[in-house]
Structure 1
Amino acid sequence: MTFTEMSRIDRSIEISATPERVWRALTTREELAAWFQVAIEGEIAAGSEVWMTTTNPAYSGMRFQVKFVELVPPSRFVWEWHPGAVDPKVDYAKEHRTTVTFTLEPKPGGTRLNVSETGFDAISLPRRASAFKDNTQGWAEVLVWLQKYAEEAN
């Protein structure tokens, strides 16, 4: 795969729950924390920045910052973050963030959720391949967590 091809990740999943139900799972602090397996310090609102700390045993204690950019209920949710594990050698004030866009589409029997993460091409070369690989795998796994959570809570 070339560095040009490592500029974005696109994933989709069908969820047997209404767009409103999926929206609540994405944008309600307690619900996002439950399925995304994080503790959230701060509120989910356009323009706010929060710290998240993973509670998943495989990544327990990893902290990362998320800036919520756009919330258009119940169809579009956008955040920016620094992908990958926090590295104490990286100056995150100078490191480019990627943009994660969730788009919800009503479908018979539920919702089609599309997730795009863009901006990898602006990440420093030493981190780009690792961050892209980790998030490519990560989104495939995390969307199943969301699907299961939203369908069980439906």
Structure 2
Amino acid sequence: MEKPAATDRIERHIVIQAPRDRVWRALSNAEEFGQWFGTDLKGQTFAPGQRVRGLVSGCGHDNVWFDAVVDRIEPQNLFSYRWHPAPIDPAVDYDQEEPTLVTFTLKDAPGQGTLLTVVESGFDKVPPQRRLEAFRMNDGGWAAQLKNIARHASQ
């Protein structure tokens, strides 16, 4: 019997050819995060409970905001935040929806590399009319963003 497809979470992994402290800095420094993620977070910092917000660039949608509340920071191990996936319709009040949780974890990999895992969970609580599209967009988005951080951190 075939296992049903997971609809509540996206999980992606990549081994980055860079030391763990370098990958951690790319994740945990808000301005540097913005550089590889494609959002302007200049002058902002990540701290638990703090909201960060910046205009997104390069995704083909005008006036889309990266808008997240930092959840947890465990230096060189875990960084997480909550946000509303695929907030592309200016007519929708996304603050009325329950956000998903994005969690990055780091582990050592052979050859001084770093295994980076990203999990976004909570899609089953996204309103049904936009759940599948948000999941589809973010599934492809995380594949691209892991390549972006790998390129950024290994320079």
* TM, length-normalised to structure 1: 0.90
1:147 is the counterpart of 2:144:
no
**Residue number among 123, 126, 131 corresponding to 1:128 in the alignment:** 131
The offset of 1:100, in angstroms, is 0.3
Query: In 1, Cα distance between the equivalents of 2:45 and 2:79?
Result: 14
Kindly, what percent of the aligned residue pairs are identical?
38
The offset of 1:6, in angstroms, is 1.4
Query: In 2, Cα distance between the equivalents of 1:4 and 1:50?
Result: 32
Aligned Cα root-mean-square deviation (Å): 1.7
Query: Which amino acid is 2:71 matched to?
Result: V
Partner residue, 1:65: 67
* Equivalent residues in 2 for 1:110-121, closer than 5 Å: 110-121=113-124
Displacement over 4 Å in runs of 4+: none
The offset of 1:37, in angstroms, is 1.1
Name the stretch that deviates more: 126-135 or 26-35: 26-35
Name the stretch that deviates more: 6-15 or 48-57: 48-57
Query: Which amino acid is 1:8 matched to?
Result: R
Any gaps of 5 or more consecutive residues in structure 2? Answer: none
Query: Which amino acid is 2:30 matched to?
Result: R
Query: In 1, Cα distance between the equivalents of 2:61 and 2:107?
Result: 31
Query: Which amino acid is 1:9 matched to?
Result: I
**Residue number among 97, 100, 105 corresponding to 1:98 in the alignment:** 100
Query: Which amino acid is 1:106 matched to?
Result: D
Query: In 2, Cα distance between the equivalents of 1:17 and 1:64?
Result: 26
Partner residue, 2:52: 50
* TM, length-normalised to structure 2: 0.90
Query: Which amino acid is 1:133 matched to?
Result: R
Query: Which amino acid is 2:66 matched to?
Result: F
The offset of 1:53, in angstroms, is 1.1
Any gaps of 5 or more consecutive residues in structure 1? Answer: none
The offset of 1:142, in angstroms, is 0.7
